[in-house]
């Protein structure tokens, strides 16, 4: 057999090489040794407005999801919408489908402080 794919050849799906695994292990050790909640609070109390805005954007994206983006090319933009009847099981009953939520700095601080 000359060239071409061979059965069983190549890296197994989902496998990581040693360098990737070592980086993940080191990152996990570092995160275990710091108080992440205090670090986020310190960033929110930073004197640099750009840092505060970036932290707020990060938290808002993680809590409420990223805003939708229009995808387009030459011509009419393509809009993709996902709809279903009723609320899926994983969606809390008090949240409506397609509800737009705007977070304030106070909401994010309350989330960080756990109150």
Percent residues over pLDDT 70 in the chain: 71
Tens-place pLDDT, residues 32-72: 899 988 998 999 998 999 999 999 999 988 888 887 776 65
| Mean pLDDT of the region 3-23 | 79
pTM: 0.41
* Contact assessment for residue 108 and residue 59, using Cβ atoms and an 8 Å cutoff: yes
- Domain residues of the chain, as ranges? 18-85+98-113
Residue 72: CB partners within 8 Å, gap ≥ 6? 78
Structure tokens at 8: 């069983």
| DSSP-derived 3-state class of residue 71 | strand
């Amino acid at each position: 057999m000359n060239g071409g794919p061979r059965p069983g050849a190549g890296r197994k799906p989902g496998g990581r090489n040693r360098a990737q695994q070592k980086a993940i292990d080191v990152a996990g050790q570092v995160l275990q040794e710091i108080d992440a909640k205090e670090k986020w609070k310190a960033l929110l109390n930073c004197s640099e407005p750009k840092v505060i805005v970036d932290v707020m954007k990060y938290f808002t994206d993680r809590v409420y999801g990223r805003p939708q983006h229009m995808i387009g090319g030459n011509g009419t933009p393509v809009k993709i919408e996902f709809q279903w009847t009723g609320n899926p099981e994983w969606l809390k009953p008090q949240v409506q489908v397609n509800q737009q939520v705007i977070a304030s700095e106070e909401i994010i601080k309350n989330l960080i402080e756990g109150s």
